[in-house]
Every structure is written in structure tokens, then in C-alpha cells.
Structure 1
């Protein structure tokens, strides 16, 4: 079972999910960063042999989050599609079928750098596209990590991971990172890399995703 952890972020409750997303229980809104749908199709179109299935895996986690939290809206913090080749028939078909299952959801995309290269989301998704920062409740929703006066900024883009070491062994785990007035969510997509933040997040709170658990490795800034 996917676990979640409720934390105080800028004086507001935010539910951090091991499915690599965050949920605002007051606004009933899911925040998803860097889904990168169709990235595997992009690689194959460019001659790089990678397995299929990342879109299905990513959508399955999104389905599980929706079943768990019953949101009224989902806001994507940029990079919904990876590149123009993401508009492959199989990828768009899977997204269209997913949208039919969740026709009542409001979908919003805060445009990211990959979205500008990939082109807009398919019409079948009925998704609003907005510029950053997009303000809702106490949040300023962005793609690029930044600070926004008068709000707590949540962003993506970075794909943060945190290295956890034990003696000679170590592992890089997706993580949420929070400063006093800004935070970054882990990449949601099943086929994404990661940027290690151990050195430049020393004054931040860090919550890692280990399997189906969310754990605080640094609940308070150092």
C-alpha cells in the first residue's frame, strides 16, 4: 500500500505521497511535477532501444493517487510531455483513455521547458495551460524552483534525489525538499533521472521516498 505523510509546509498541511506527488487536503488538489509522458517513445523514435510501458506505469500511479485522495483538480508543475515525439499514437491514446475515466477532474498545466518543445497537451485532455507562477490558495505553483513574494512556491524541474549512505553502501532516493518559503517535488514520471541535492540543500527539510514509504531524513534544517 502506498503510504503518505502529512507535513506542515509554510503553515499549511501538505500530504506527501510515496507515489511522488503532493496533495492539499483543503483545496482537494493534487500537485504532480515532471510526468514526462512519452519519454520512452521519444527515445525509441531517436533510435535508442528502451522498453515500453512507462506511460502505463505513470498513469497507474496517478489512478492510485486519485482513488486515495479524491481530488477535484490535478495541477501539473510542468513537463507533462517529454518532446514532440511524445505525441505518438500509443501515448496519446493512453492519455485519452485515462481522461475519459476521470472526466470530472479539472486539469491544469503550469507550462515547463519540455512543454514548450513538445507542443501543447492534446485537446482530448481538456487541460488548462497557465504560466508560472500560478497562484491558488497559499501556493505559487511553478515549474522552475524560485521564490514568490507572499506565497509558498512549489516547483518541479529539478528531479531531486537524496543520497542515503550506510557504511560503504548508498542509494539515491527521490525526495521532497523544502526551504522556508519554497519547495521542490520529485519527478513523477516512471522514466526520469535525478539531480542529487545533498550538498545544496543543507538548510532545507528533506523527505525521501523509499519504496512505498515517505520518510523524513532531515525533518528540520541543519
Structure 2
């Protein structure tokens, strides 16, 4: 596994190929947009999508937690996709029991407001955005105004298009600016969107078990 170390607002952080951000000083791991129960919500509306995404997401979480020393896990919104996601509570309870000593905070996102808070038995701290751990403001939406702190957010599910002129790939990416950093979607069934980048944003692409920089954006795109 290859991580990418960078500096945000004077703090050293690591961008993990698990599509997560790790802050070593606080032993804090942040993930965005896991969307538990999204596939179940689609199936509830008659859309034939695969089973097993909840277990896939939990396995990915376990892998990220095993890769670094974590005391505090923060979900940056859209923890649950819809009300149908509450059907995954038993699997989440089993996962939580394996990590009973871990502090877990969920920042509410737009999907969480429709789905409702997770079960109290999960022992999660449920908060509204912005959630401050200076110098950072952990949010779901990335568009908080200046003065909030350096915003670390999700919501957009950013991907970056790499092209050699003949072939192209759309890969999950981190987008780091002066005032905000947007994380890729962590969930296994989330898709991605090419986000509009600002001049000066740095882009870090997730490719397999590595994260690498594709440089700094010279103008808005």
C-alpha cells in the first residue's frame, strides 16, 4: 500500500488508497459518503442491483482501520442512504461490536436527514455540520464559507479523468484547495462525478493500492 502525505492548514495528513484521510496527530480517520443501504433502497423500488454491498463496505472499513492507528473515525455525511438502509442495522451492530473501543462520529448529510439517525445501539456520536477539530471543520457539504476552518468534506463523489489521447479512465480523487479538501466517496455503490476544480487545487488520484498527485490546477475547470 502506498499513501500520499501532504499538508493541510499546517497539519500533516495522509491520503490513503482506501479513499480515506488520516490525521496522525489526532489518530483520526475520515471517510465520506459510505451510503449504507443504497443497494437495498434501489431493490425496494424494483431495481435489480447486487446484494452484499454492506458487507463490502464494512470489509473496506476494516481494511482502512487496520492500515493506520485510529482512535476516532468520522463519517462525513450520507452514512445511511435512505430509510430502507435501517435493514442493515444487524450487520452494523456486529461491526460495531468488533470496534467497541473506537470513537465514531457521524456528521449528518443530506441523505441522513431523509433516512433518519442510525440506531442508538450503535453508540455513534451524531452531529450536524460543521464539526470542528481545529484547524479543520469536518462537513458533508464542501461549500461552507471562509472562516469556518479548513473544510474537509464529501458529497460530490469526485473523480478525475486521466487520458493518454486514446484511452481515458475516471478515477476517484481527493481535491485539496486552500480552504477545503473534498474526499472521494468511500461506498462501494456510489458512482462518481467530475467536480469543478478551482485554480490552485491539488488533485490526488486513487489507483489500486496507491495515491498519486496529478499536480496543481492552473485555472478553474
Secondary structure of the corresponding residue to residue 168 of structure 1:
coil
- Corresponding position: 1:103 with 2:108: no
1:193 to partner: Cα distance: 1.3
Secondary structure of the corresponding residue to residue 49 of structure 1:
coil
1:70 to partner: Cα distance: 2.1
2:76·2:107 contact (CA, 8 Å) conserved in 1?
yes
Q: Find the counterpart in structure 2 of residue 133 from structure 1.
A: 130
- Corresponding position: 1:64 with 2:63: yes
- Corresponding position: 1:184 with 2:150: no
Secondary structure of the corresponding residue to residue 107 of structure 1:
strand
Alignment of 1:137-156 (within 5 A): 137-146=134-143, 147-149=145-147, 151-156=149-154
1:140·1:148 contact (CA, 8 Å) conserved in 2?
no
Q: Find the counterpart in structure 2 of residue 23 from structure 1.
A: 22
1:203 to partner: Cα distance: 2.9
TM-score (norm 1): 0.94
**Alpha-carbon distance in structure 1 between the residues aligned to 2:199 and 2:50:** 37
**Alpha-carbon distance in structure 1 between the residues aligned to 2:193 and 2:121:** 32
Alignment of 1:1-222 (within 5 A): 2-88=1-87, 91-146=88-143, 147-149=145-147, 151-197=149-195, 199-218=196-215, 220-222=216-218
2:197·2:217 contact (CA, 8 Å) conserved in 1?
no
**Alpha-carbon distance in structure 2 between the residues aligned to 1:151 and 1:127:** 24
Runs of 5+ in structure 1 lacking a partner? none
Runs of 5+ in structure 2 lacking a partner? none
2:55·2:91 contact (CA, 8 Å) conserved in 1?
yes
Aligned length in residues:
217
CA RMSD in angstroms comes to: 1.3
Secondary structure of the corresponding residue to residue 60 of structure 1:
helix
1:30·1:75 contact (CA, 8 Å) conserved in 2?
yes
1:124 to partner: Cα distance: 2.3
1:66 to partner: Cα distance: 1.1
**Alpha-carbon distance in structure 1 between the residues aligned to 2:123 and 2:70:** 17
- Structure 1 residues 115-140: Cα deviation after superposition (integer angstroms, max 9, x where no partner): 00011011221011111111013110
**Alpha-carbon distance in structure 1 between the residues aligned to 2:200 and 2:192:** 20
**CA 1:22/1:186 → structure 2, altered by over 3 Å: closer, same or farther?**
same
**CA 1:201/1:118 → structure 2, altered by over 3 Å: closer, same or farther?**
same
Secondary structure of the corresponding residue to residue 14 of structure 2:
strand
